[in-house]
Chain A
Amino acid sequence: MRIVLVEDNLQLATTIADGLSEDGYTVDVVGTAADGIDRGLRRDLDLMVLDLGLPDRDGLEVLHELRNVRVHVPILVLTARDAIEARVAALDAGADDYLVKPFAFAELVARIAALARRAAGPRWAPVSDVPLTLRDDLMVESGSRTAALSPREYALLGCLLRRRGEVVTRAEILRDAFGYEFDPGTNVIDVHLNHLRKKLAGFPVAIETVRGAGIRLVVPE
């Protein structure tokens, strides 16, 4: 995994780079905001650790510039600015995490690992921006249309909604929606899936089967 470290204090940058290299990360150090933006635009990085007090421009501008052109690389801000306003400004500008200097190196490593995990793992998309509402009385609602679901169907739809657009494997459905750690060898998924499909007829979503891979929920834009 390649980390770009934007830090103008050479001593600190060297220490962090050495420490992270020992943990198996590849670390590139750049000392200016311009170089940081440059590396971000090249998109050949997996994570950025960004200092805010840079000699040429403020680190916040790096965040703005990269997020403006949809570079979604996880960015951890590492700075001596500890004011609440500074933290809020950085997170609002698109930082994924914020760590204040002086910091515990173990915490930096743990936060980098957490960001990497989140970036690589299955999505957990918010369900607020789909034309479908899961109510807590096991009803699904879309406009004036409603349908009552069984607890299993409800769990299955929730699981698919969170990862809408992605193919979800049968093993993941068994584990995440039904709580099975192993495949019971039954057609339990197909039974519930059929019921769910019938109940969702006329709703603005469709559940597709991708042969040999799994199923996915498609929400028309």
Chain B
Amino acid sequence: MTASATLGRGLGRSFALATVIGMVVFAVIQALVIYVTEIGEECAPGVVEDPPGEIVLQCAIALSISAPFGALLSVLLGRRLTTPTTARLDEVIQNAKRMTGERLDERLPVSPLGDPLDRLSVALNDVLARVQRGVAAQRQFAADASHELRTPLAVISANLEVARRKPRDPAHWEHVADDTLAEVHRMHVLVDKLLQLSRAGAAGLHQEHTDLRALASAAVERASMIGQDRGIIVELAPGYAVFAEVDPGAVGIVVDNLIRNAIDHSPPNQVVTVSVAPGPLIAVEDRGPGVPRELRTRIFEPFARGSATDRTAGTGFGLGLAICRRIVDGHGGTVDVEERTGGGARFVVRLPPPEATTA
């Protein structure tokens, strides 16, 4: 806003300067014309005094000679002074026209002047850089998603094709069917997760006044069966109700995913602790190996896996934490991983306080 005002003032100054110069030229020519006629009269003897009408006539003559010059001059000067600005505007427009979804690496020209137009270009370039990063992330996501879907597809098609090469007994076919179904199930889970991730943005959230502690308690209940076979206990730390304006379904998914993640990384017979505190804040702690510092941002990216060994062991696709981050982002909150005091990982979801969300 200030930039455009300054730009307007700049243009205004250019025009005013041009007009003033034009007027000065006009005045000078007029004075010149009057002076020349005066001289002429002085040389002509017998004429004593100018009659009043003659001054008006002189003015008229001077005006008719100087006015076109002055006007022309101020137009030319005005154009001359504003040309650099309009030329640069044209350049910006041309550059902007060249940009497409495919060619986002173009940037608007920035001159060393650092004037308002440059500030505009810099601001637009920032936007472009952000859009470019977003598009790149989307593209990477699509590539990763198709990569993940290809593997179960490869298993299914290889399975069926190999089985069909020779006559097989029913028991063999049953085995092939089981393997195929397992892969189909895997694909099903993956497609569900991808959908969850794409729906997790702010647009799909329906926020309402929610008791986070009750929500966490329900999630703990849901998770209690998962870790049972490995003797992992999921507990909710004692505390009071904490209210926030959130989408209960979406935040439920966040807590589910964090608990699931904690269970997957817990050694057998350990405790996963969920706690809710004013802030509002939800924390999920495990007593596993923790997350190395250099991986603490990366694990929230789609298809990133905590460590390579989990990949062969677990069924995870590396989408759970990415889904968490998108949902929490959509609420205007943050999700981070820290080191738990006493070892293990502590995932913390910080949501904006209720008054901040209503304001």
Kindly specify which of B9-17, B152-160, B269-277, B290-298 makes contact with the partner chain.
Answer: B152-160
How many B residues are at the interface, by size bracket?
Answer: 20 to 34
Best-surrounded residue of B154, B156, B183, B309 (most CB of chain A within 10 A): B154
Is A19 close to B, CB under 8 A? yes
Alpha-carbon distance between A31 and B151 when the two chains are bound, in angstroms: 15
Kindly specify which of B31-39, B91-99, B161-169, B209-217 makes contact with the partner chain.
Answer: B161-169
Q: Do A55 and B308 touch across chains, with their CB atoms under 8 A apart?
A: yes
How many A residues are at the interface, by size bracket?
Answer: 20 to 34
Is B143 close to A, CB under 8 A? yes
- B residues in contact with A81, CB < 8 Å: 147
Alpha-carbon distance between A11 and B309 when the two chains are bound, in angstroms: 17
Q: Do A105 and B161 touch across chains, with their CB atoms under 8 A apart?
A: yes
- A residues in contact with B315, CB < 8 Å: none
Some 21 contacts from A to B, beta carbons below 8 A apart, are A9-B155, A10-B312, A11-B155, A11-B179, A11-B183, A12-B154, A15-B162, A15-B179, A18-B162, A19-B161, A22-B166, A53-B147, A55-B312, A80-B150, A101-B150, A102-B154, A103-B154, A103-B157, A103-B158, A105-B158, A105-B161
- A residues in contact with B143, CB < 8 Å: 83
- A residues in contact with B182, CB < 8 Å: 11
Q: Which residue of A lies closest to B311 (CB)?
A: A55
Q: Do B162 and A8 touch across chains, with their CB atoms under 8 A apart?
A: no
- A residues in contact with B158, CB < 8 Å: 12, 15-16, 19, 102-103, 105
Best-surrounded residue of A100, A101, A104 (most CB of chain B within 10 A): A101
Mark each residue of chain A from 49 to 74: 1 if its CB lies under 8 Å from any CB of chain B, else 0. 00001011000000000000000000
Q: Which residue of A lies closest to B308 (CB)?
A: A55
- A residues in contact with B157, CB < 8 Å: 102-105
- B residues in contact with A55, CB < 8 Å: 308-309, 311-312
User: Across chains A and B, which 3 residue pairs bring their CB atoms closest together, nearest first?
Assistant: A101-B154, A19-B162, A80-B150
A15/B159 contact (C-beta < 8 A), A9-B151, A80-B147, A101-B150 known: yes
Q: For chain B residues 304-356, which have a beta carbon within 8 Å of chain A?
A: 308-309, 311-312
Alpha-carbon distance between A80 and B159 when the two chains are bound, in angstroms: 17
A15/B312 contact (C-beta < 8 A), A22-B165, A102-B150, A105-B161 known: no
Is A106 close to B, CB under 8 A? yes
Alpha-carbon distance between A104 and B159 when the two chains are bound, in angstroms: 10
Alpha-carbon distance between A178 and B312 when the two chains are bound, in angstroms: 58
Q: Which residue of A lies closest to B143 (CB)?
A: A83
- A residues in contact with B165, CB < 8 Å: 19, 22, 105
Q: Do A104 and B161 touch across chains, with their CB atoms under 8 A apart?
A: yes
Alpha-carbon distance between A55 and B155 when the two chains are bound, in angstroms: 18
Best-surrounded residue of A19, A53, A106 (most CB of chain B within 10 A): A19
Mark each residue of chain A from 6 to 50: 1 if its CB lies under 8 Å from any CB of chain B, else 0. 001111100110110010000000010000000000000000000
Q: For chain A residues 104-120, which have a beta carbon within 8 Å of chain B?
A: 104-106
- B residues in contact with A8, CB < 8 Å: 311-312
| Least CB distance, B60 to chain A, in whole angstroms | 80
Alpha-carbon distance between A11 and B184 when the two chains are bound, in angstroms: 13
- A residues in contact with B311, CB < 8 Å: 8, 55
Alpha-carbon distance between A157 and B197 when the two chains are bound, in angstroms: 66
A102/B153 contact (C-beta < 8 A), A8-B312, A83-B143 known: yes
Q: Which residue of A lies closest to B313 (CB)?
A: A55
- B residues in contact with A31, CB < 8 Å: 312
| Least CB distance, A20 to chain B, in whole angstroms | 9
Q: Which residue of B lies closest to A16 (CB)?
A: B158
Q: For chain A residues 75-114, which have a beta carbon within 8 Å of chain B?
A: 80-83, 100-106
| Least CB distance, B152 to chain A, in whole angstroms | 9
Given contacts A12-B151, A100-B150, A105-B162, 9 further A-B contacts (CB under 8 A): A8-B312, A16-B158, A19-B162, A22-B165, A31-B312, A55-B312, A80-B148, A105-B157, A105-B165
